[in-house]
Amino acid sequence: MCGRFVSATPPDQVAAYFDTEAPEALLEASYNVAPTNDVYAVLADGSTRHLDAFHWGLVPIWAKDPKIGSKMINARAETLAEKSAYKAAFKRRRCLIPADGFFEWKKDPNAGPKAKKQPYFIHHPDGEPYAFAGLWEVWRGPNKDQEPWRSCTIITTAPNEVMATIHDRMPVILPASAWDAWLDRDNDDLDLLGKLLVPADPALTVLHPVSTLVNNVRNKGPELIAAVDPDAPPEGTLL
């Protein structure tokens, strides 16, 4: 799965990288984006791309309450065309979700049941942003006068060789060569689109252990992606 990621690149730089118009809503930099936070997503309207803000956690149009979105932060690539929450969006409402990297937690198989998992930061070796494959929806709810609720989800797939050392899933990372096909709303060839939802080239995913400070969603600073020695005693420990 993908439950936390980094979105710290300035919006104008994100817009330039993805060749989009500048976003209307400006989001604060976050090194610890958590479910239900607002995130950027890239959409296409014909030949024009847009960078817009969405709530992370997809709310289907048939939902009675937007709180259901907290359970839909990820969508499995293998079942997009089958699940009622995702199949309509898979066909018509696809997006890219920019990220500077993401976090995953590894459990030590030799540790006890109460042992803390070690968090890792996964990123592009050259520091470039990732383009997660995503889906989006607009929920209007029972009250048609309320503000539409714009939400999205990140698609996950099996891990590549690097990710498999710490977890059994990873976000789908689309190369630039696939962006146009993925964003094209007239493209409803689900078989073709499904073939894009594969593990990323292992060379594009490097990782290192980071502090357990990332476990607290209130922590948002750049110190969260700094490499640490997982075997070192906690700060302040008497030796």
Can you give the pLDDT at residue 103? Answer: 98
Can you give the pLDDT at residue 145? Answer: 67
Domain boundaries, the chain: 4-225
Q: Select which of 95, 104, 137, 152 is catalytic.
A: 104
Can you give the pLDDT at residue 160? Answer: 98
Is 235 one of the catalytic residues? no
- SS3 category, 11: helix
CATH for 4-225, options being 3.30.450.20, 1.10.10.10, 1.50.10.20, 3.90.1680.10: 3.90.1680.10
Can you give the pLDDT at residue 234? Answer: 53
What's the chain's length in residues? Answer: 239
Alpha-carbon span 201 to 160, nearest angstrom: 7
Can you give the pLDDT at residue 239? Answer: 36
DSSP structural state of residue 21: B
Whole-prediction pTM: 0.93
Q: Which of 151, 207, 189, 169 is nearest to 76 (CA)?
A: 169
Is 2 one of the catalytic residues? yes
Helix (H) or strand (E) holding 25: none
Q: Select which of 2, 95, 137, 152 is catalytic.
A: 2
Can you give the pLDDT at residue 147? Answer: 81
Can you give the pLDDT at residue 17? Answer: 97
In this structure, what token pair is assigned to residue 12?
């104008």
In this structure, what token pair is assigned to residue 47?
């030949």
- Averaged over successive runs of 10 residues, the pLDDT of the chain (239 residues) comes to 94 96 91 97 92 96 92 96 95 97 89 81 97 96 79 98 97 97 95 96 97 97 95 51
Alpha-carbon span 155 to 152, nearest angstrom: 10
Can you give the pLDDT at residue 142? Answer: 75
